[in-house]
């Protein structure tokens, strides 16, 4: 064969080295693409399972809510939207056996707080600043207080304590009015909650060391003590 013709045909024929060897980079790229495909598939499967679980829970919640009969009357609390929202929750809730919602008294003169007697109580008794349990079981206890501090020359420690039968079960402490820093007024919110198993005649109360700073004027409706029976023992 003519040497020129043979030389022209040689570039069109695949070489043995090219056919038998694949660059390492292309193999790695292929494996990486496959791994990402499996990862995307697994992620999509988990997301689908999560959506299905949430949908199942929502159906169960709706069924349980529909099975709760509407109360015959309405409760009216003094106050704005916060109180009205809580009243609505209490009216529709499943824990109808024992619960209470009290607002702090405007006349505070000691560390143990007193509460307005015209608050909502059901299946629980109020006496001398104490909520007295009438049904045994697990109770959610929630307290929220607003403070207004006119800063003196030194720092001030604000402490909120939840007591069961005179024993401190939960407390919150915060320091305001840093020493050497000139600040006129400081608004501070303190809240605490507790899940506790209580027997009949157990008492619930709240103590505040610096009770003179509890703000009963600016946000009187935000100073509340609320409990409800989560799970009954009888």
Please write the tens of the pLDDT for every residue from 107-138. 899 999 999 988 889 999 999 999 999 999 99
**Using 50, 70 and 90 to split pLDDT, how confident is the model at 157?**
very high
**Between 182 and 33, the higher pLDDT residue:** 182
Stretch 5-31: mean pLDDT, rounded? 46
180: left (phi over 0), alpha (psi -120 to 50) or beta: left
- The Cα–Cα gap between 181 and 184 comes to 10
pTM over 0.75: no
- Strand 167-176, strand 156-164: pairing: antiparallel
Stretch 168-192: mean pLDDT, rounded? 86
Question: pLDDT > 70: what percent of the chain?
Answer: 57
| pLDDT above 70 (res 223) | yes
| pLDDT above 90 (res 208) | yes
- The Cα–Cα gap between 29 and 22 comes to 12
**Using 50, 70 and 90 to split pLDDT, how confident is the model at 232?**
confident
List C-alpha distances in Å: 165 to 70, 101, 149. Answer: 34, 19, 30
- The Cα–Cα gap between 118 and 23 comes to 83
pLDDT averaged over the chain? Answer: 73
pLDDT at 178: 78
CATH number for 96-232 (one of 2.60.120.40, 2.40.50.140, 3.30.2320.50, 1.10.10.10): it is: 2.60.120.40
**Domain range summary for the chain, segments of one domain joined by +:** 96-232
- The Cα–Cα gap between 179 and 176 comes to 9
Considering only CA atoms, which of 40, 85, 86, 95 is closest in space to residue 64?
A: 95
């Amino acid at each position: 064969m003519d040497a020129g013709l043979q030389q022209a045909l040689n570039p069109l024929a695949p070489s043995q080295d090219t056919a038998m060897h694949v660059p390492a980079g292309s193999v790695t790229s292929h494996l990486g693409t496959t791994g990402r495909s499996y990862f995307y598939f697994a992620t999509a499967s988990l997301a689908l399972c999560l959506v299905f679980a949430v949908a199942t829970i929502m159906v169960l919640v709706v069924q349980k809510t529909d099975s709760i009969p509407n109360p015959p009357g309405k409760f009216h609390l003094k106050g704005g939207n916060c109180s009205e929202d809580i009243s609505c929750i209490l009216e529709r809730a499943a824990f109808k056996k024992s619960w209470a919602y009290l607002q702090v008294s405007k006349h505070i003169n000691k560390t143990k707080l007193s509460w307005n007697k015209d608050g909502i109580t059901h299946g629980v008794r109020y006496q001398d600043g104490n909520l007295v349990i009438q049904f045994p079981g697990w109770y959610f206890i929630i307290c929220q207080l607003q403070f207004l501090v006119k800063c003196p020359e030194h720092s001030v420690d604000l402490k909120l304590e939840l007591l069961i039968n005179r024993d401190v079960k939960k407390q919150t402490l915060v320091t305001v009015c840093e020493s050497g820093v000139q600040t006129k007024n400081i608004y501070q919110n303190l809240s605490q909650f507790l899940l506790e198993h209580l027997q009949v005649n157990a008492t619930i109360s709240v103590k505040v060391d610096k009770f003179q700073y509890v703000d009963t004027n600016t946000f009187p409706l935000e100073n509340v003590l609320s409990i409800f029976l989560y799970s009954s023992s009888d």
